[in-house]
Amino acid sequence: MPLPSSKRRQKPVASPKSQIQGSAHTRVLRRRQRLPHSPHIPAPSSLVSIPPQDSYDGALSQIESLLESILDAVINGTDLVIPYQTVRPSPGVPPVVSLEGGARQMTTEVVKFPGRNIQEVKRFDAIFRILELSHEALLTGNLITKRNIYYQNTELFRSQSVVDDMVDNLAFTLGVGRGDLNIVAAARGLIAGPIDVMMRGGATVQYGHGLSGGNGNLIPPINSVDKVDFHNTRWLLVIEKEATFRTLANSGYSSTSRAGHGILVTAKGFPDLATRRFLSTLHSVRPQLNVFALVDFDPHGVSILRTYQYGSQRLDHEENVTLPHLKWLGIRSSDIMSRSSIIMSHSLQDSQSGDSQTSQEFASQGSLAYSFGGSDDERPAKRPKSNYPRDSNESVAPLTLDDRKKAVSVMKQICGEKGFESAGLEQMQELQRMLMLNVKAEIQTVDNFGDITDWLDERLSV
């Protein structure tokens, strides 16, 4: 039965207040000791401390008062109530509407026990279970993954996405971030580069120069990171595609780049919260690190870039997860146009030979046979560089109907912002160009037989 057992109910009451205050006290002390290392006064050394995530006490006390109120309700024999707000737009409302209006869909409701139906009873049980697990995680200082919560009772939660939604909604209702509940998503992002990460438990992870093992190095939850030694890294490159990341990591690009040592990161597509929080924190403790993004030239690439920069719509209540200084390294329309046949005919020789009079004729009567003979001698001048021998036009594809719709929706998002930053204007112009050209291109467009390092060297050197 979903009714909470008396043992569970004991827990919030049994937890002595002194214990919480005690832990808060030591945390304050630790924070004071760290003050000289605050981001505003960069430490001379490359070793930087990660400040502990705040509002620890806030989330804990909120959960405790919530659990206490439930206990009171049990004693008084009244309904058990958990406030519960949903951040996700209801299925009937197309997301575009909420985009245009700039208003977030928000349904305020409570989940009661006993409920009006069996679904509500189950929901109450599930939410209560998450609260309980979060409470325990907060007390012990451990982190619990959403995956782990799901496996606590697969029958109750039914699917992983139910847990994901409930955790986000619960965090939104309590006005805290997901991480403040000590609940994290299983790491998805990968990292490579010559940096050392010291965990709060005392362990040190050296990310080395390449990938250790076949799975790469998972990005650690930022809450569990104590210090990071950046050594002499100068740049950080966020890559949309895992394949590109692996190629670069395997070749040791983070140490061999002509732009100096650097860090490679991928979140395999749209970034997860853990990766975004990790990057945001890294940038706040190490502002001198230049951060770049390498994404596909398509509406989703721009959208991924914007998610790193400004966060996502759904998880707008999360804090410290944005990276507004992230620079858009590529790829851009100029990268495509300079090496595809779009402007290939623009050769130096041709423009010197000047205007007119080249007597280009209409082929007679429907003949489709082109004559190439006369243009052979022009060809060498046409190549921007001899090291781009491939006709990269092959990797340029037309936009689909969905791509075009997505592009317009991202443009509306850019336009909806207060103050149209220069980054927004740049993205707007690239999207307009994309729509006019009606082409998209993957990162691989700019590589040279799979070797993208020359292109990167040029652009990472700032």
Closer to another protein by CB, 75 or 401: give it.
Answer: 401
Binding track over 309-338 against another protein, x by CB under 8 A: ----------------------------x-
Both tokens assigned to 115: 């409920």
In this structure, the strands spanning 396-398 and 225-229 are unpaired
Q: Which residue has the tokens 């977030």?
A: 104
Question: Which range of residues in 45-53, 159-167, 202-210, 344-352 is near another protein by CB under 8 A?
Answer: 344-352
Closer to another protein by CB, 257 or 340: give it.
Answer: 340
Closer to another protein by CB, 138 or 336: give it.
Answer: 336
Rounded least distance, CB 103 to another protein, Å: 18
User: How would you write 274-285 as a 3-class SS string?
Assistant: HHHHHHHHHHHH
Question: Which range of residues in 76-84, 209-217, 229-237, 397-405 is near another protein by CB under 8 A?
Answer: 397-405
Q: Applying CB under 8 A, which of residues 159, 345, 387, 461 lies at the interface with another protein?
A: 345
Question: Which range of residues in 18-26, 114-122, 189-197, 345-353 is near another protein by CB under 8 A?
Answer: 345-353
Rounded least distance, CB 431 to another protein, Å: 8
Number of shown-chain residues binding another protein (CB under 8 A): 47
- 421-425 own/partner pairs: CB under 8 Å, 24+ apart: 423/309, 423/324, 423/328
Closer to another protein by CB, 45 or 432: give it.
Answer: 432
Question: Which range of residues in 70-78, 130-138, 295-303, 398-406 is near another protein by CB under 8 A?
Answer: 398-406
Binding track over 353-392 against another protein, x by CB under 8 A: --xxxxxxxxxxxxxx-xxx--x--xx--x----------
Question: Which range of residues in 32-40, 82-90, 228-236, 431-439 is near another protein by CB under 8 A?
Answer: 431-439
Rounded least distance, CB 313 to another protein, Å: 18
Rounded least distance, CB 409 to another protein, Å: 10
Q: Does 415 bind another protein (CB under 8 A)?
A: yes
Question: Which range of residues in 113-121, 143-151, 301-309, 425-433 is near another protein by CB under 8 A?
Answer: 425-433
Both tokens assigned to 41: 């006064």
**Amino acid identity, position 316:** D
Q: Applying CB under 8 A, which of residues 227, 327, 433, 459 lies at the interface with another protein?
A: 433
Q: Could you give the 3-state DSSP secondary structure of residue 180?
A: helix
**Among candidates 47, 60, 49, 56, which has minimal Cα distance to 28?**
56
In this structure, the strands spanning 290-294 and 327-330 are parallel
Rounded least distance, CB 461 to another protein, Å: 25
Alpha-carbon distance of 218 to 145, in angstroms, equals: 14
Q: Note whether 444 and 395 are within 8 A (CB).
A: yes
H or E segment and range at residue 437: helix 422-437
Instruction: Specify the DSSP class assigned to residue 438.
Output: T
Alpha-carbon distance of 413 to 304, in angstroms, equals: 13
Alpha-carbon distance of 187 to 219, in angstroms, equals: 6
Q: Could you give the 3-state DSSP secondary structure of residue 231?
A: coil
Alpha-carbon distance of 64 to 19, in angstroms, equals: 13
**Amino acid identity, position 33:** Q
Q: Note whether 237 and 264 are within 8 A (CB).
A: yes
Rounded least distance, CB 304 to another protein, Å: 20
Closer to another protein by CB, 13 or 363: give it.
Answer: 363
Closer to another protein by CB, 155 or 361: give it.
Answer: 361
Closer to another protein by CB, 43 or 344: give it.
Answer: 344
Closer to another protein by CB, 368 or 462: give it.
Answer: 368
Q: Does 436 bind another protein (CB under 8 A)?
A: yes
Q: Does 99 bind another protein (CB under 8 A)?
A: no
Alpha-carbon distance of 376 to 385, in angstroms, equals: 17
- Positions annotated as catalytic residues are 151
Burial 273-285 (b: 16+ CB within 10 A, else e): bbbbbbbbbbbeb
The dihedral built from the CA positions of residue 379, 385, 391 and 395, taken in this order, carries a sign that is: negative
Q: Does 461 bind another protein (CB under 8 A)?
A: no
Rounded least distance, CB 397 to another protein, Å: 11
Alpha-carbon distance of 113 to 70, in angstroms, equals: 10
Q: Does 65 bind another protein (CB under 8 A)?
A: no
Q: Which residue has the tokens 């008396």?
A: 6
**Among candidates 176, 185, 189, which has minimal Cα distance to 145?**
185
Contact positions toward another protein, by CB under 8 A? 337, 341-347, 350-351, 355-368, 370-372, 375, 378-379, 382, 398, 401, 404-405, 408, 411-412, 415, 425, 428-429, 432-433, 435-436, 438
